[in-house]
Amino acid sequence: MAHQLDIIDGKASMAYVGQTPWHGLGQSLQPGSDIETWRRESGLDYSVLAAEAMYRLIDEDGTASYHEFPGRKTLYRSDNLKPLSVVSKDYKVVQPAEVLEFFNQLSEIGGFHLETVGSLKGGAKIWGLAKIDDGAPIIADDIVRPYVLLATSYDGSLATTARLTSVRVVCNNTLSRAYSGDSKSVVKVRHDAHFRPEEVRMQLGIFSDQWEKFQIEMRRLAEKQISDDFADAFLATLFSRKLAKRADGSLPDVRNTRGFKEVMALFHGGARGHEMVKGTAWCLVNSVTEWVDHSRGRSPETRLDAAWFGAGNDLKTTAFSEMLDVIS
């Protein structure tokens, strides 16, 4: 099993307040904990340092020689000296302490509430998630809350990214509005540029308007009744784009895949909060998000990484945006 979560002395490098997150990992903190407590309990009490990237050659007589890798450097952790990656000399690092201070300032100035912080892949990817407000009902008692997610990486897999995301309270499904073409719900800072937290915080003001639009879009889905045939066809199209082709170039029968069957089972009554939204486009989208967040993947840590940053996040945002398109 792939092991992506950073474990030190038996503790997952993740901390949270409130209910245990859907991934079931990390240390529980008291509300109002100071930023140093967050740093310590989340396992982010280290710095990312740089050293020259070197490689070793062995001559025919067995003599070893060491050579510098031009234009590259090795990033490593200050606490355990473990390497994180080899990157360009120009790679700008956003330290774990900077990520935490970003949220500390949001809490003091903007009333945001930090809810979870953590790292994956041995500390090569870190993030924080802060609640913007208590959210609003999409339909009946189906409440969705807005969050800002800030993440960065030390292996080049992710630009420093702040984006608007949401959590559906009844099931803890996560859904981002940062789908293709939506530039106002996400702020990205490449690693060849300096991270300027003040500028990013100013851009977060745009998220308030985007949250209003996000709610309108979710309510459109909740008000749209769909048939079983529509759900079957929509899901088959969605999953077909994500399947690997056979050697002859053809696609396997998507309806026989585990994912398709599990999502359809959720749509037909297995999803959390199903009674509030059954038979709607919102129900089908949430069946996809529930499967991605709670079932897809080999372990909680790989599931979390994919659901927030990888193929799982892409699948969820594609389902949301394409559903909006087809019901228009």
- In this structure, the dihedral spanned by the alpha carbons of residues 36, 39, 42 and 48, taken in order and rounded to 10 degrees, is -160
Q: pLDDT tens digit string along 116-140?
A: 999 988 999 999 999 988 899 999 8
**Strand 160-168 relative to strand 186-189: parallel, antiparallel, unpaired?**
antiparallel
Return the biggest CA–CA distance within the chain: 77
pLDDT over 90 at 268, yes or no:
yes
**Confidence grade of residue 2 (pLDDT, cut at 50, 70, 90):** very low
pLDDT over 60 at 278, yes or no:
yes
Contacts of 130 (CB under 8 A, 6+ apart): 103, 106, 107, 112, 113, 114, 115, 147, 148, 150
- In this structure, the dihedral spanned by the alpha carbons of residues 105, 5, 319 and 175, taken in order and rounded to 10 degrees, is -30
Tokens matching residue 58: 């062995």
Helix 281-294 and helix 300-309: axis angle, to 10°?
A: 130
Task: Note the pLDDT of residue 11.
Answer: 75
Task: Note the pLDDT of residue 110.
Answer: 73
Task: Note the pLDDT of residue 98.
Answer: 94
Long-range pairs, 251-255, Cβ under 8 A, ≥24: none
Task: Note the pLDDT of residue 210.
Answer: 86
Query: 255's torsion region: left (phi>0), alpha (psi -120 to 50) or beta?
Result: alpha
Give the global pTM. 0.86
What DSSP line would sit under 63-131, residue for residue?
-EEEEEEEEEEEEEETTT--EEEEEETTPPP--HHHHHHHHHHIIIII--EEEEEEEEGGGTEEEEEEE
Q: What percent of the chain has pLDDT over 90?
A: 56
Q: pLDDT tens digit string along 176-194?
A: 876 545 556 788 899 989 9
**Confidence grade of residue 3 (pLDDT, cut at 50, 70, 90):** very low
**Confidence grade of residue 1 (pLDDT, cut at 50, 70, 90):** very low
What DSSP line would sit under 20-42, residue for residue?
PPTT--SEEE-TT--HHHHHHHT
Helix 228-240 and helix 258-265: axis angle, to 10°?
A: 150
User: Position of tokens 């140093």?
Assistant: 36
Q: Which segments within 103-236 are labelled E, that is strand?
A: 113-120, 125-131, 136-139, 142-153, 160-168, 173-176, 186-189
Task: Note the pLDDT of residue 119.
Answer: 92
Task: Note the pLDDT of residue 305.
Answer: 77
**Confidence grade of residue 18 (pLDDT, cut at 50, 70, 90):** confident
Task: Report which of 44, 154, 39 is spatially closest to residue 104, judged by C-alpha positions.
Answer: 39
Question: Is the separation of the CB atoms in 285 and 226 below 8 Å?
Answer: no
How far apart CA 42 and CA 173 sit, in angstroms, is: 22
Average pLDDT, whole number, for the chain?
A: 87
Question: Is the separation of the CB atoms in 5 and 301 below 8 Å?
Answer: yes
Beta bridge partners of 54: 68
Length of the chain: 328
Beta bridge partners of 67: 55
Q: Is 200 helix (H, G, I), strand (E, B) or coil?
A: helix
Q: pLDDT tens digit string along 153-178?
A: 999 999 999 988 999 988 888 888 76
pLDDT over 70 at 235, yes or no:
yes
